[in-house]
């Protein structure tokens, strides 16, 4: 997989516009300066979590005795459910503005949810050379930076697109995620049948 392919794939796995709507909802009464600080903290949390999953996915599979194909099918199913919730427009839960929500629930499970965790672990397990791992790590970093940039300029996006525009883009993201989920499931089933 090339750098750009992984970048785009992970970017959509992070459901950036759903994350944006969540972020705007949680920082409704925050100042511009506070939003910037929270966006940076959230991005850093997502980056650390994603890199750990990318590099240690194989070890986790070995510990639990799970095959990559089985995990690919399971992650694809979860990703499909996430896509359905995006398309249906699931509303964010009420969050106490005094709580630190940058790690939980914004970084996990909003941006890096169960389906995204599974997809990144499978992706990391597929990297066989150090060069592939480096390219994958850089692409995940770029995807995280892209999501962070969206959160960083969230106030400007909110003024430009309004709430309705963000919801529409979020639903389109859901459609792309549904296609990615179907591909993961089909690939998992195909490889499972081929190996057995």
Per domain, the residue ranges of the chain are: 33-195
- 3-state SS, the chain, equals CCHHHHHHHHHHHCCHHHHHHHHHHHCCCCCHHHHHHHHHHHHHHHHHHHHHHHHHHHHHHHHHCCCHHHHHHHHHHHHHHHHHHHHHCCCCCCCCCCCCCHHHHHHHHHHCCHHHHHHHHHHHHHCCCHHHHHHHHHHHHHHHHHHHHHHHCHHHHHHHHHHHHHHHHHHHHHHHHHHHHHHHHHHHHHHHHHHC
pLDDT tens for each residue of the chain, 196 residues long: 589 999 999 999 998 887 888 788 778 778 888 899 999 999 999 999 999 999 998 788 788 888 878 877 887 888 788 778 778 866 555 455 455 678 877 888 779 877 788 889 989 988 889 999 999 999 999 999 999 999 999 989 888 888 788 778 778 878 887 888 888 889 888 888 887 6
Number of neighbours of residue 130 by Cβ within 10 angstroms: 8
**Six token digits for residue 21:** 């709507």
pTM metric for this prediction = 0.76
Q: Pick from 46, 43, 28: which is nearest to 155 by CA?
A: 28
Contact 149, 20 (CB under 8 A): no
């Amino acid at each position: 997989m090339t750098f750009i392919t992984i970048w785009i794939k992970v970017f959509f796995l992070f459901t950036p516009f759903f994350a944006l709507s969540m972020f705007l909802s949680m920082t409704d009464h925050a100042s511009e300066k506070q939003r910037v600080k929270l966006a940076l903290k959230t991005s850093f949390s997502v980056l650390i979590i994603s890199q750990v999953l990318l590099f240690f996915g194989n070890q986790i599979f070995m510990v639990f005795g799970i095959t990559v194909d089985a995990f690919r099918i399971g992650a694809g199913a979860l990703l499909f459910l996430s896509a359905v919730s995006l398309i249906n427009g699931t509303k964010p839960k009420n969050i106490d503005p005094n709580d630190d929500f940058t790690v939980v629930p914004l970084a996990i499970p909003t941006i890096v949810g169960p389906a995204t965790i599974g997809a990144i672990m499978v992706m990391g397990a597929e990297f066989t050379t150090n060069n592939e791992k480096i390219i994958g790590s850089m692409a995940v970093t770029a995807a995280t930076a892209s999501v962070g940039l969206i959160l960083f300029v969230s106030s400007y996006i909110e003024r430009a697109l309004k709430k309705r525009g963000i919801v529409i883009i979020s639903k389109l993201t859901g459609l792309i995620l549904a296609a990615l989920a179907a591909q993961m499931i089909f690939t998992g089933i195909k490889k499972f049948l081929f190996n057995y």
